[in-house]
Amino acid sequence: MLGRMARFPYSGMVFAAVAAATAAGAPAFPAAAKSPAPFASFRLGDATAEFDRKGGFVMKRGSEVLVSGADLVVAQPGWRGTAAQSGARAVEGWPRRERGGAAWKCEAAEPGTKVRWRITETVREASGALSFRYEAVPDADTECAEVSLFIDLPLATWSGKGGVLWPTAGFTFPPEKPAGRHFASGVARKVSLDLDGRRTTFRLMTPVTVTMQDCREFGSGKYQAYAQLHGGGKVAKGTVVALEVVLVPDDQEVVRVAEEEYGMREKAVVRAVNLPGTTAFTFERFEIALDVAGTWETPFDPDQARVDGVFRLPSGRKLVVPAFFTEDYRETVAGDGVLSEPAGSRGWRLRFAPVEEGEHELVVAVRDRTGAEARSGPVRFKAKHSRKRGYIRVSDRDRRYLARDDGTPFFAIGQNVPGIGRPVAEYERIFPKMGRAGANFARIWLSSFSMGFEWGKPGRYRMRSAAETDQVLGLAERNGINLLVCLEAWRSFEGNDTVYRETDIHPYWSRNGGPVAVEMDVFTNPEAKRMWRNRLRYAVARWGYSPNVFAWEFWNEINCVKGYWERSRDVVAWSAEMGRYLKEADPWRHLVTNSLGSYLADDALWNLPEMDIVQGHGYWHPRDPAAKEAAKDMAGFIASWQEKLNRYGKPAIYSEFGLVNESWGDSPLMEDDAEGEHFHEGLWAPVFHGGAGTAMLWWPSWVDSHDLYRRFFSVSKFLANVPWTRAGFKRAAATSSDPGAEVTARVGRDTGGGIALVWVRNLRHTWWNAVNGLPMAPVARTVVTVPDLPDGRYALERWDTWNGLPAGTEHVEARSGKVSFEVSGLERDIAVKIRPE
């Protein structure tokens, strides 16, 4: 989706609000005390911590300042104002020195609302460390952007040094001012900062989201670490928002991000091939644990560590399946986030789904970076028939439609579910509801902000993200959802991508050790292309076994990559090259596609033989002249684009649509469309205009919050058992005697004679007219005529498209190749199915 970055939530301050505050002369970040008076002092080995009367502190080792300030801040929505500890009024009798520590209590008022927060800080010394507890309690119901503890870290001390938000992310304090101020973020148990081998650690008693930021763009000579006590939203009167931290100035424990420690230096060997049993089932996962050794720096580069399973099928055919390296993770809900931690098991796995019944033989082969090779002995197992129908293909009978391996037609019914914030929780909530409603399709993203596994330093994959995708695919399999897996969505190396997740350090960027300095060189640089092939191989190895992987999509709206319009042909050539590689690397031959931004089609891209599916995107947009008018009738808007996509002679899916605001966020008009009128129009229009699926709404949270899954139910019930691949459907010149009723029909030849799918809709009834209260008089009476049907008797079923139920069946006769029927009192729309008796 174009401009999508404007809508996603993220940790930290709203950029525009901070910039506006700075321009007005207000401080951009909480101001800590510059020279704290020593109200209380603590000696911690060779470090000293001195506290002022507000509770802010400076910690030094000799003359070197390790921490230069601390401030608890309550931010109002949009960061319009703050209630901060540093600017608060002390409660009478406070602060106090206590045995082994000190305590502060103060009150700070929110600007505007005047809600008062009582802030308490207590400090205790214990075994060379300081134990802190912060509490913030409002005296009335309120709403905030966040409640966070800001820790100031001097630029002079930490520039170029390293750190870890354990176990989520490692980072380096940027020596030069970065394009985006946030350079690391994640749910963490510890913040460990390494100063030439001596570590200063903040141990968090409860895992919380911590963000590292660079403050130089506001003229400040410091970095900040801020930990969120509360991630935003409503806070009830009297609620205690708390954080406990232990500060260790000279920590002996070394912590690392697990994903940095996957290297090995051993002799190449396959020690064991551990089958899960002796029986597999066709089209179902058969996961084999491997004990493999070798020499490599990273197991995610097949030029360093290539492990393959060579399967001999019952037919004698050989199938080579790539293995993948993994580490198990467990998830723990931590405040407003989820903490993913290694679960203790790592190694190589081989996921296989048999496509034939009978005895299989497997040999595992490994080759490492030294060129050494090893092979296992053969192991054998049998595959039995399952009830699954196989993978989704372009139909051999009709190249415009899709079918399973056994010939069963597949028509995609669903929506986008890209996964935002806590992605697994979102899918756990949404997929079962979609499945119960008859939906069978979802488009997901493996992007930087959602399950993208190739981010950070080159050669390091995020195993926690891959583990999340495992869970999502498992949910899809259990609920009958087939996934269009979009493998990438980034647009530039710097700037807007930081809105997604502040830890997104681009692996292809030369500033991060990658091979290219310019975005578009990703599509031409040999090393960048090799890295992308490695990503494809890993995705195939880990998830390619599943028939619920509908297709691989290379890149969401690839034309949005910076520099595309000057070098668009490079992208087309890259798409062809990667398509060829993927078809060779994927033993299950999943479909392959790409996507372009709203209102775009590219003959050069969609005519590539490597592109199996054509996609389109487009929205009602208040500032786009054409879309603003055309998409007021969403059915007509999508129908016109569906017809354009059909000209490539391939399965075509309108895979993004909806209502957006000026910045491409969700439109407020959606709340006025509580019945989902525009959603309904988008689902039904492609059915009668040659689509291989419904149009796919972008906003899954809106569907969920308004419980509009029944819209899927209606279309899925009507389309049950339609012979998409056998009928040879064509657009028929159906007519209506009343021009206020539009008729769209597709007519084909079933094995028993003709078949027709007909949509009759009142042109006055559109989502735009509905949400604006405009007149939508019903069509009193119209006679519909459907041509191109063989003469004979037919059963005509009328369907209520809003409740998914047949409204009655009648008997009609085709004469001179035409069937006519009457429709009365047409308020919105009906669907009609005509079959031979």
Residue type, 435: G
pLDDT-derived band at 1, boundaries 50, 70, 90: low
Strand blocks (E) in 85-145: 89-90, 96-98, 101-109, 116-126, 129-138, 142-144
pLDDT tens for 445-471 read 998 878 999 988 899 898 988 999 999
- How far apart CA 395 and CA 691 sit, in angstroms, is 14
Note the pLDDT of residue 309: 98
Please tell me the predicted confidence (pLDDT) of residue 261.
Answer: 77
The pLDDT-based confidence of 282 (bands split at 50, 70, 90) is very high
Out of 2.70.98.10, 3.40.50.150, 2.40.50.140, 3.40.640.10, which CATH number does the structure's domain 27-256 have?
Answer: 2.70.98.10
Nearest partner of 113 among 133, 72, 84, 142, judged by Cα: 142
Residue 134 contacts residue 57 (beta carbons within 8 Å)? no
Closest CA to 598 of 623, 569, 566, 570: 623
Helix (H) or strand (E) segment spanning residue 769: helix 767-771
Segment 222-241, tens digit of pLDDT: 999 999 999 888 999 999 99
82 close to 30: Cβ distance less than 8 angstroms: yes
Q: Give me the helix-helix angle, 526-543 and 463-479, nearest 10°.
A: 40
pLDDT at residue 6 greater than cutoff 50? no
Could you give the CA distance from residue 199 to residue 193 in angstroms, rounded to a whole number? 5
367 — pLDDT class (breaks 50, 70, 90): very high
- 372-421 residue pLDDT tens: 999 999 999 999 999 999 999 999 999 999 999 999 999 999 999 998 65
Kindly state the tokens that stand for 281.
Answer: 């089932």
- Per-residue pLDDT of 806-825, as tens digits, reads 988 999 999 999 999 999 99
Mean pLDDT of the chain: 91
Domain at 392-720: CATH code: 3.20.20.80
Stretch 492-512: mean pLDDT: 64
- In this structure, CATH architecture of domain 266-332+346-384: Sandwich (2.60)
Look at strands 441-445 and 414-416 and give their pairing: parallel
User: What's the pLDDT at 242?
Assistant: 96
Count of Cβ atoms closer than 10 Å to residue 330 Cβ: 12
Task: Report the predicted TM-score, pTM, of the whole model to 2 decimal places.
Answer: 0.82
- Is residue 13 over pLDDT 50? no
Tell me what the mean pLDDT of segment 745-772 comes to: 93
734 neighbors 787 (Cβ within 8 angstroms) = yes
| pLDDT for position 336 | 56
Q: Are strands 47-51 and 57-61 parallel, antiparallel or unpaired?
A: antiparallel
Tell me 496's DSSP state: G
As given in the structure block, the two tokens for residue 603 are 């003959």
Give residue 7's pLDDT: 25
Radius of gyration of the chain (CA): 30
Report the C-alpha gap between 394 and 381 in whole angstroms.
31
Per-residue pLDDT at 27 exceeds 50: no
How many helices (H) and strands (E) in the chain? 14, 49
Residue 501's pLDDT is what?
39
User: How far, in Å, CA of 437 to CA of 68, rounded?
Assistant: 56
CA end-to-end span of the chain, whole Å?
A: 46
What integer is the mean pLDDT of 431-445?
97
Crossing angle of helices 463-479 and 423-436, in 10° steps, is 10
> Residue ranges of the domains in the chain?
27-256, 266-332+346-384, 392-720, 741-836
Identify the residue with better confidence: 180 or 164: 164
Residues of the chain with pLDDT > 70: what percent? 92
* Location of structure tokens 């304090």: 173
Q: What is the mean pLDDT of residues 632-639?
A: 97
Return phi, psi of residue 3, to 5°. Answer: 70, 15
Instruction: Give CA torsion, residues 331, 336, 337, 341, to 10 deg.
Output: -40
pLDDT tens digits along 670-726 = 999 999 999 999 999 999 999 999 999 999 999 999 999 999 999 999 999 999 999
Q: Cα–Cα distance between 791 and 815 in angstroms, integer?
A: 5
In the numeric block, the tokens 């439109």 are attached to 667
Arithmetic mean of pLDDT, 594-620? 97
pLDDT-based confidence at 342, cuts 50/70/90?
confident
Q: Cβ distance 500 to 10 under 8 Å?
A: yes
| pLDDT recorded at residue 455 | 86
- Tell me whether the CATH fold assigned to 266-332+346-384 matches the one assigned to 741-836: yes
Q: Is the Cβ–Cβ distance between 778 and 760 less than 8 Å?
A: no
Amino acid at the residue 771:
V
Lowest mean pLDDT among 117-126, 172-181, 362-371, 510-519: 172-181
Q: Does 498 have pLDDT greater than 70?
A: no
Quickly count: other Cβ atoms within 10 Å of residue 233's Cβ. Answer: 11
pLDDT at residue 186, rounded to an integer: 80
Contact 245, 202 (CB under 8 A): yes
Q: Which residue has the tokens 């399709």?
A: 441
**pLDDT single digits (tens) 313-335:** 999 999 999 999 999 887 776 65
Quote the CA–CA distance of 11 and 227 in Å, as a whole number: 10
Distance between CA atoms of residues 683 and 635, nearest Å: 9
Q: Locate tokens 């700075």: which residue?
A: 22
What CATH fold (topology level) applies to the domain 741-836? Immunoglobulin-like (2.60.40)
